[in-house]
Amino acid sequence: MVFLWSLKPLFILCKLNSIRNEEEEDNFMLDIKFVRENQEAVKENIRKKFQEEKLPFVDYVVELDEQKRAFQVEGDKLRQERNEISSTIGTLMREGKKEEAEGKKARVVEINERLSEIEKKETELSTLLKEKMMVIPQMVDASVPVGKDDSENVEIERFGEPKVSDFEIPYHADILMKLNGLDKDSAGRTSGNGFYYLMGDAARLSTAMINYARDYMIDQGFIYCIPPFMIRSDVVNGVMSFAEMDAMMYKIEGEDLFLIGTSEHSMIGKFKGQMISQSELPITMTSYSPCFRKEVGAHGIEERGIYRVHQFEKQEMIVICEPKDSMDWYHKMWKYTVDIFRNMNIPVRTLECCTGDLADLKVKSCDVEAWSPRQQKYFEVGSCSTLGDAQARRLGIRIKGEKGNYFAHTLNNTVLASTRALIAFLENNINVDGSVNIPKVLRPYMGGKEKIEMNQ
């Protein structure tokens, strides 16, 4: 009987390993079953995103999955055989059939050895499968235009008449300097290129816009939150692709922590591993945070101004909802950003991101761009995205339904990013004498001021 008891821990361990492997499959961007049954569609999606180098991964992961499932079937059969044998050993011993019992025990040992080999193989295959599945992109929505990069994004709609000024509008850094509002020289000494000091009315204006955006979203029924500004690697891996992480995130040396590039990361991460009741949905939240970005790439850090910097502040929104509701929320969310900018006298347009400009986790995305009277063109001030169930799969965010559990859909949208919003605001509200008008919606946050005067 001692021998029988010694089998139980191994049986339990094997069962737990089986459960763990099933859960690991959920951490991919796509359902492996979907890939298995729709290989050509997955390949066509990769082609639409102009990522042909990933095409071989589709066949490879299907092959790995077949091998893994074959081992799982063999393992299940062996475990069943072991259980059947184990149940007879005690009876044989009581009946004095020691030799037959010993033969059964020997077979159990053989099974255990084979199961150990199988579990090792399954672990190796799971690691390889996850590695390759994590880089196969999310299926984009059929409405997304096919294009190679952001130069092929498509304008959707304009809101407000683009301003053509009858005087020359200065560069935003010069406007801020004349308002005594910007010091990049001191920031260069304390922190290096890509940082800045905002001061006086300029700093107050930046905060006023963030606070207005916050209160606007609260009025729309969103829950206000200030999240952690650092997150662990498992959350980073859940909310974004490896390529995005390398280009954006600052890692804290010696710790498993990253500075957030946007509060969406920690806001979605808040629900990691959670089972959410249908009655709790949709979850709508708006969050404030500083944002930290390496800004690695062709654009680089701006020397004089604050358009592309390492640090800024942002009001963000996220939604976790039923799959059937995600596209409705997508269209609601970008409209909130449009309304906020229009209420600050800033003309904007929406731009549909093409397939080649979509990050790997995204199903559909649009940019909100503000009009620059100085440059006579639009520039990006926000982005709205639906990611389908990609983040939910990677983070294990499920909905508890009446007929079973399933993955939630997640969405995010920039409400207002401080530096770019400030640039758009200054250019669209400056007067010929260098003063800056304050729209009515911001005056309560500016002590009632109607105008910021230029420093004499």
* Torsion sign, CA atoms 141, 147, 149, 150: negative
Report whether pLDDT(278) > 70. yes
Report whether pLDDT(407) > 90. yes
Residue 134 DSSP one-character state: T
Residue 141 DSSP one-character state: P
Q: How many helices (H) and strands (E) in the chain?
A: 14, 18
For the segment 262-275, the average pLDDT, to the nearest whole number, is 96
Model confidence pLDDT, tens digit, residues 239-261:
987 677 777 889 999 999 999 99
Q: Strand 348-352 relative to strand 154-159: parallel, antiparallel, unpaired?
A: antiparallel
Report whether pLDDT(22) > 50. no
H helices within 220-250, ranges in order? 233-239, 242-248
Nearest in space to 391 (alpha carbons), one of 236, 238, 241: 238
Do residues 285 and 317 lie in contact, with contact meaning Cβ atoms separated by under 8 Å? yes
Residue 8 pLDDT level (bands cut at 50, 70, 90): very low
Q: Strand 364-372 relative to strand 182-183: parallel, antiparallel, unpaired?
A: unpaired
For the segment 382-393, the average pLDDT, to the nearest whole number, is 96
**pLDDT value at position 27?**
61
Model confidence pLDDT, tens digit, residues 61-79:
999 999 999 999 999 999 8
- More confident: 25 or 364: 364
For the segment 414-426, the average pLDDT, to the nearest whole number, is 96
Report whether pLDDT(14) > 60. no
Convert 203-235 into a string of H (helix), E (strand) and C (coil).
Answer: HHHHHHHHHHHHHHHHHCCCEEECCCCEECHHH
Residue 219 pLDDT level (bands cut at 50, 70, 90): very high
**pLDDT value at position 296?**
58
Least confident of 43-47, 132-136, 200-204: 132-136
**pLDDT value at position 299?**
63
Residue 428 pLDDT level (bands cut at 50, 70, 90): very high
The encoded tokens of residue 322 equal 């039923």
Report whether pLDDT(300) > 70. no
Report whether pLDDT(10) > 50. no
Model confidence pLDDT, tens digit, residues 95-117:
777 777 778 788 888 888 899 99
All domains in the chain, ordered by first residue: 2-133 (1.10.287.40), 150-452 (3.30.930.10)
**pLDDT value at position 101?**
76
The Cα–Cα gap between 89 and 4 comes to 8
Nearest in space to 230 (alpha carbons), one of 201, 190, 257: 257
> What are the residues whose beta carbons fall under 8 Å from the beta carbon of 394, sequence distance 6 or more?
27, 28, 29, 134, 237, 238, 239
Residue 24 pLDDT level (bands cut at 50, 70, 90): very low
Nearest in space to 414 (alpha carbons), one of 316, 348, 329, 318: 316
**pLDDT value at position 245?**
77
Model confidence pLDDT, tens digit, residues 117-149:
999 999 999 889 988 998 899 999 999 999 999
Whole-model pTM: value is: 0.85
Report whether pLDDT(292) > 90. yes
- More confident: 89 or 215: 215
The Cα–Cα gap between 158 and 151 comes to 18
